[in-house]
């Protein structure tokens, strides 16, 4: 095997057939290494030697990922974190498969700045591409190294030995446990994918590719310590923060003396606009916080635009117009031109548990336990905040409630660290209240999408002109200035001006590229970092709303062309994997081509497709709804989805993610919009920001996973939300004949669209 072969391969070119037809295990292993090496998470680089696959690039030593002790216990390290996506389970599966050890012998350590590789944020559905790929290669290589050591010890030929259940076994039955083979630094070697990492062949998978029950669920349903909220180091104090009533409010005065006298109060902290109380017991903190909040006098001002005219305000702001694509090509004569504008309001992450962070400052060192997505960037921010050198700060991830992006978790951790810094010694736990999370988490930005497209006489797209107007979609990493406490204290840190994230990831322009064949394509991202409301990354960033707009508009075009929505899409798709998910979805759904559009009432069907980030998971969703003509209530009947996430590690894990994404997107689509007036955000709890409840969910959700063995992991966590939202929109159109271009589809708005 040579590097030349390697370089000549193209990503994704490996089909199941070529795998099966391939020569020996070595060939397969190498070829797979190749496919994974070119995973799209590693754009840009073109070094002489092929880049290491996945996150090995940042941490190329095998023992950064895999360690085995003398008793044969395996510890796997990842810089990623579990945020409810089931990544722990999938990574354990990968390691168990490639190391040939039982799943139960593996301990997985997630992001900890003192122990694990740094992998930035757990975001963008990239955990499998990054960490999964690294662990797969590292495990395979570790296994081969151990076989080699065993061969020496046993005086046997390497080729005659095999790894099995945590031991290396010789043909004559002699056996050496991994624990006996790891002496010295045998795993302290650089990763050499393809040379020594012989990946287990897909056909031989025992653990990968099968649905393994999630490792974290049993504790979560039996009262085990599973979340940061359950972490109670000895001597821990409880803190609550009193945040301002609105953006930009200034603390004019507060009488802390009366609060200091309340039962259990250890300290009241005031620094600039930062106000917190620390107590011995938790409910004492709640009560003291309430009194402190009542004692605080703030001056507030109008900082936000009028909600009623938000979208026109948005489009009028100064903007940086970034042209994403400007393609010109031969096309048919346009005979019909359509134009439309779509709107999405601000959305919350709305984690069921408000943010929590614990920190201890002792002997000049800060330890922070946090549930945010990136321990390494958090360390940098906290080091800056409390002015310690980064090595003096350690950030350890503990699981939190579902995070879906940049929510309050980093802020709560920073709150805790700041308070702990002022009160050295005891661990300090900051638990946000519901209103803290609702009012202060960074939202997913409101967006307007304007699109114009033309059809020729054959009903084919000839041109597509698309503008997205939106705020920043990520304010990370940003350092201390991106934390609320950093912005609030007397010597405040400034949030650096946010930057758009370049394609192909994109930010507000994520998924701006229509997946369809169209010769003349003009795509512009109008980036407006005004940030009147606090914003940052929310699951999928711009993808959900761009797909909502693109796929709604494709439906409008199909209607204009007199074509069935499925047929119209298939006519414009070229990627065979895209065609497969659309066809499979339509087929399993029982799509009725040409079903009447706009009966004005009752049932409707809708379909939508996207490939997340144009480079990651493929997903199509078809939905059936029932629209009540009198009330405008949209009842969700069925959702059917097909997803292709590349090589499948845990099929049920993928199903769970796709299903969850569909249901969450249904909530966004039907209910959600952050309410605000010129001064305050009004959505302070669930009563002002309702989300989908159990009695509103689909009657059934059915997911079909297409396995593409040997192809790169594509990630799953965010791929279903765009198509799910758009499929609901299209189904409502199909049922009512009315196209609604503004989210959410509340009964009142649907009723308004339907008319009497």
Partner 1 sequence: MAKLEINGNAVNVDAEPDTPLLYVLRDDLKMNGAKFGCGLGQCGACTVLVDGKAAFSCVVPVSVLEGRKITTIEGLGTIEKPGPVQRAFIEEQAAQCGYCTAGLVMRTEALLKATRQPSEAQIRDGLSPNLCRCGTYNRVIKAVQRAAQYMRTASAEAGSDKT
Partner 2 sequence: MRTIIGIIVAVAALAGLGGVFVSRPSIAPIERPQASTFPAEAVKAGASLAAVGNCITCHTKDSGAPFAGGRAIETPFGRIYATNITPDPVTGIGRWSEPAFGRAMREGVARDGRHLYPAFPYDHMAKTSDADIKSVYAFLMTRTATPAPTPANELGFPYSSRSLVAFWKLLYHDRSPFKPQAAQSAEWNRGAYLVEGLAHCGSCHTPRNAMGAEDPSKPYAGADVQGWTAPALGATSDAAVPWTADRLYDYLRKGRSPQHGVAAGPMAPVVRNLAGVSDADIKAIATYVASIAGAPSAMRQAQATQAIARAKGEGAPSRNAPSGPGAAIYAGACAQCHGEAGRAPLDPALNLALSTSVRAGSPNNLVRVILSGIQQADNAPGPHMPGFATVLDDKQTADLVAYVRASFTDRPAFAGVDGAARRAR
Binding of ligand FES at residue 402 (CB under 6 A)? Answer: yes
Distance CA 435, CA 277 (A): 17
Binding of partner 2 at residue 294 (CB under 8 A)? Answer: yes
Binding of partner 1 at residue 408 (CB under 8 A)? Answer: no
Instruction: Using CB under 8 A, pick the residue from 144, 555, 556, 659 that binds partner 1.
Output: 659
**DSSP-assigned states of every residue in 210-236:** S-PPPTTHHHHTTT-S-SGGG---TT-
Helices (H) and strands (E) in the chain, counts: 21, 24
Output the 3-class SS for 399-429: CCCCCCECCCHHHHHHHHHHHHHHCCCCCEE
Closest CA to 61 of 215, 163, 188: 188
Instruction: Using CB under 8 A, pick the residue from 628, 652, 702, 707 that binds partner 2.
Output: 628
Nearer to partner 2, 7 or 294 (CB): 294
Instruction: Using CB under 8 A, pick the residue from 503, 656, 669, 730 that binds partner 1.
Output: 656
Stretch that binds partner 2, among 221-229, 528-536, 587-595, 625-633 (CB under 8 A): 625-633
Binding of partner 2 at residue 596 (CB under 8 A)? Answer: no
Binding partner of 629, given ligand FES, partner 2, partner 1, none, CB within 5-8 angstroms per partner class = partner 2
First to last CA, the chain: 71
Instruction: Using CB under 8 A, pick the residue from 5, 10, 312, 700 that binds partner 1.
Output: 700
Binding of ligand FES at residue 217 (CB under 6 A)? Answer: no
Contacts (CB under 6 A) with ligand FES, residues 49-88: 84
Binding of partner 2 at residue 756 (CB under 8 A)? Answer: yes
CB 644 within 8 A of CB 580: yes
Place of tokens 């967006």: 447
Distance CA 536, CA 473 (A): 5
Binding partner of 748, given partner 2, ligand FES, partner 1, none, CB within 5-8 angstroms per partner class = partner 2
Closest CA to 347 of 670, 751, 727, 660: 670
User: Which tokens hold the place of 147?
Assistant: 């076989």
Coil vs helix vs strand at 183 = coil
User: Which tokens hold the place of 704?
Assistant: 């079909």
Instruction: Using CB under 6 A, pick the residue from 7, 158, 352, 596 that binds ligand FES.
Output: 352
Binding of partner 1 at residue 506 (CB under 8 A)? Answer: no
Distance CA 71, CA 75 (A): 12
Q: How many residues does the chain have?
A: 756
Q: What share of the chain is helix, strand, coil (3-state, %, to 5)?
A: 35, 20, 45
* CA distance readout (Å), 713 to 101, 122, 270, 644: 22, 15, 48, 10
Contacts (CB under 8 A) with partner 2, residues 669-698: 671, 675, 680, 682-684, 686-690, 692-693, 696
Contacts (CB under 6 A) with ligand FES, residues 576-615: none
Contacts (CB under 8 A) with partner 1, residues 563-622: none
Question: Long-range pairs for 17-23 at CB < 8 Å and ≥24 separation?
Answer: 19/201, 19/202, 19/203, 19/709, 19/710, 20/203
Nearer to partner 2, 152 or 630 (CB): 630
Distance CA 115, CA 131 (A): 15
Distance CA 260, CA 272 (A): 18
Instruction: Using CB under 8 A, pick the residue from 657, 669, 683, 719 that binds partner 1.
Output: 657
Instruction: Using CB under 8 A, pick the residue from 190, 206, 220, 297 that binds partner 1.
Output: 220
Distance CA 187, CA 469 (A): 50
Work out whether strand 428-431 and strand 265-271 pair parallel, antiparallel, or are unpaired: unpaired
For the chain, the C-alpha Rg in angstroms (whole number) is: 27
Closest CA to 623 of 516, 722, 695: 722
Nearer to ligand FES, 227 or 313 (CB): 227
Minimum distance, C-beta of residue 37 to partner 2, in the bound complex (Å): 48
Nearer to ligand FES, 120 or 408 (CB): 408
Nearer to ligand FES, 262 or 691 (CB): 691
One symbol per residue from 3 to 42: x for binding partner 1 (CB under 8 A), - otherwise; what is it?
----------------------------------------
Nearer to partner 1, 222 or 491 (CB): 222
Binding partner of 746, given partner 1, partner 2, ligand FES, none, CB within 5-8 angstroms per partner class = partner 2
User: Which tokens hold the place of 318?
Assistant: 């100064």
**Dihedral Cα 452, 457, 459, 461, nearest 10 deg:** -40
Binding partner of 525, given partner 2, partner 1, ligand FES, none, CB within 5-8 angstroms per partner class = none
Q: How many residues bind ligand FES (CB under 6 A)?
A: 3
* Consecutive H or E run containing 81: none
Q: How many residues bind partner 1 (CB under 8 A)?
A: 65
Distance CA 44, CA 518 (A): 26
Binding of partner 1 at residue 244 (CB under 8 A)? Answer: no
Binding of partner 1 at residue 351 (CB under 8 A)? Answer: yes
Binding partner of 202, given partner 2, partner 1, ligand FES, none, CB within 5-8 angstroms per partner class = none
Distance CA 370, CA 363 (A): 20
Coil vs helix vs strand at 546 = helix
Minimum distance, C-beta of residue 688 to partner 1, in the bound complex (Å): 10
Closest CA to 610 of 662, 653, 672: 662
Binding partner of 663, given partner 2, ligand FES, partner 1, none, CB within 5-8 angstroms per partner class = partner 1
Distance CA 277, CA 422 (A): 12
Binding of partner 1 at residue 352 (CB under 8 A)? Answer: yes
User: Which tokens hold the place of 94?
Assistant: 């990968």
> CA neighbours within 13 Å on the CB side: how many for 134?
30
Nearer to partner 2, 200 or 292 (CB): 292
Distance CA 465, CA 623 (A): 27
Q: How many residues bind partner 2 (CB under 8 A)?
A: 36
Binding of partner 1 at residue 126 (CB under 8 A)? Answer: no
Binding partner of 701, given partner 2, partner 1, ligand FES, none, CB within 5-8 angstroms per partner class = partner 1
Nearer to ligand FES, 82 or 551 (CB): 82
Q: Which residues pair with 631 in a beta bridge?
A: none
Binding of partner 1 at residue 479 (CB under 8 A)? Answer: no
Binding partner of 300, given ligand FES, partner 1, partner 2, none, CB within 5-8 angstroms per partner class = none
Give me the residues that bind partner 2 (CB under 8 A), please. Answer: 245, 290-291, 293-296, 435, 439, 601-602, 628-631, 633, 671, 675, 680, 682-684, 686-690, 692-693, 696, 746-748, 751, 755-756
Give me the residues that bind partner 1 (CB under 8 A), please. Answer: 83-86, 213-214, 216-227, 229-230, 232, 238, 281-283, 286, 350-354, 399-404, 431, 433-434, 652, 656-657, 659-664, 666-667, 685-687, 691-701
Give me the residues that bind ligand FES (CB under 6 A), please. Answer: 84, 352, 402
């Amino acid at each position: 095997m040579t590097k030349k072969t390697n370089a000549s391969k193209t990503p994704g070119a490996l089909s199941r057939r070529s795998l099966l037809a391939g020569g020996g295990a070595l060939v397969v292993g190498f070829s797979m290494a190749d496919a994974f090496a070119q995973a799209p998470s590693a754009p840009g680089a073109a070094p002489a030697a092929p880049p290491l696959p996945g996150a090995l690039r940042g941490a190329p030593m095998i023992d950064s990922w895999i360690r085995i002790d003398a008793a044969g216990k395996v510890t796997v390290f990842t810089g990623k974190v579990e945020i409810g996506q089931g990544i722990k389970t999938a990574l354990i599966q990968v390691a168990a498969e490639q190391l040939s050890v039982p799943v139960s012998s593996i301990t997985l350590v997630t992001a900890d700045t003192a122990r694990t590789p740094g992998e930035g944020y757990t975001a963008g559905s990239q955990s499998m591409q990054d960490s999964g790929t690294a662990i797969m290669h590292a495990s395979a290589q570790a296994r081969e190294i151990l076989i080699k050591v065993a061969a020496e010890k046993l005086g046997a030929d390497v080729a005659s030995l095999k790894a099995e259940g945590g031991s290396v076994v010789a043909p004559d039955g002699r056996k050496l446990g991994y624990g006996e083979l790891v002496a010295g630094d045998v795993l302290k070697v650089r990763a050499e994918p393809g040379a020594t990492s012989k990946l287990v062949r897909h056909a031989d998978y025992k653990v990968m590719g099968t649905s393994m029950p999630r490792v974290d669920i049993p504790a979560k349903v039996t009262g085990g310590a599973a979340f940061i909220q359950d972490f109670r180091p000895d001597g821990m104090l409880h803190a609550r923060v009193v945040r301002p009533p609105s953006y930009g409010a200034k603390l004019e005065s507060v009488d802390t003396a009366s609060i200091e006298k309340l039962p259990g109060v250890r300290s009241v902290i005031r620094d600039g606009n930062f106000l917190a109380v620390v107590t011995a017991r938790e409910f004492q903190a709640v009560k003291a916080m309430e009194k402190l909040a009542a004692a605080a006098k703030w001056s507030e001002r109008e900082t936000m635009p009028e909600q009623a005219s938000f979208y026109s305000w948005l489009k009028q702001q100064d903007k940086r117009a970034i042209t994403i694509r400007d393609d010109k090509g031969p096309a048919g004569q346009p005979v019909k031109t359509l134009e439309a504008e779509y709107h999405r309001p601000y959305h919350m992450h709305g984690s069921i548990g408000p943010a929590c962070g614990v920190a201890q400052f002792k002997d000049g060192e800060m330890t922070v336990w946090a549930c945010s997505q990136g321990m390494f960037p958090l360390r940098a921010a906290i080091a800056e905040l409390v002015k310690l050198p980064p090595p003096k700060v350690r950030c350890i991830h503990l699981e939190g409630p579902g995070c879906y992006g940049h929510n309050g978790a980093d802020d709560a951790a920073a709150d805790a660290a700041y308070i702990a810094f002022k009160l050295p010694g005891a661990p300090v736990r900051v638990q946000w209240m519901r209103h803290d999370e609702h009012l202060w988490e960074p939202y997913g930005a409101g967006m307007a999408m304007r699109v114009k497209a033309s059809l020729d006489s054959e009903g084919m797209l000839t041109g597509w002109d698309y503008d997205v107007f939106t705020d920043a979609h990520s304010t990370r990493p940003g350092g201390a200035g991106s934390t609320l406490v950093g912005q609030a204290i007397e010597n405040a840190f400034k949030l650096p001006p946010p930057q758009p994230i370049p394609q192909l990831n994109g930010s507000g322009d994520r998924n701006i590229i229509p997946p369809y064949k169209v010769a003349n394509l003009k795509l512009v991202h109008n980036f407006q970092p005004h940030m009147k409301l606090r914003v940052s990354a929310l699951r999928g960033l711009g993808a959900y709303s761009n797909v909502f707009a693109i796929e709604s508009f494709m439906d409008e075009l199909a209607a204009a062309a007199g074509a069935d929505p499925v047929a119209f899409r298939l006519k414009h798709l070229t990627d065979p994997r895209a065609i497969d998910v659309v066809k499979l979805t339509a087929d399993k759904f029982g799509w009725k081509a040409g079903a009447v559009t706009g009966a004005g009432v009752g049932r409707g069907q809708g379909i939508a497709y996207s490939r997340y980030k144009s480079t990651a998971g493929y997903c199509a969703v078809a939905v059936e709804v029932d629209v009540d003509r009198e009330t405008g209530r949209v009842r969700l009947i069925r959702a059917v989805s097909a997803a292709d996430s590349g090589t499948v590690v845990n099929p049920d894990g993928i199903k769970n993610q796709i299903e969850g994404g569909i249901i969450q997107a249904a909530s966004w689509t039907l209910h959600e919009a952050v309410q605000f007036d010129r001064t305050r955000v009004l959505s302070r709890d669930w009563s002002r920001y309702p989300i989908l409840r159990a009695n509103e969910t689909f009657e059934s959700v059915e997911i079909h996973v297409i396995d593409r063995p040997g192809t790169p992991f594509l990630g799953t966590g965010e791929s279903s939300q765009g198509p799910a939202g758009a499929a609901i929109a299209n189904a409502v159109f199909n049922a009512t004949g009315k196209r609604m271009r503004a989210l959410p589809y509340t009964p009142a708005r649907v009723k308004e669209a339907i008319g009497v």
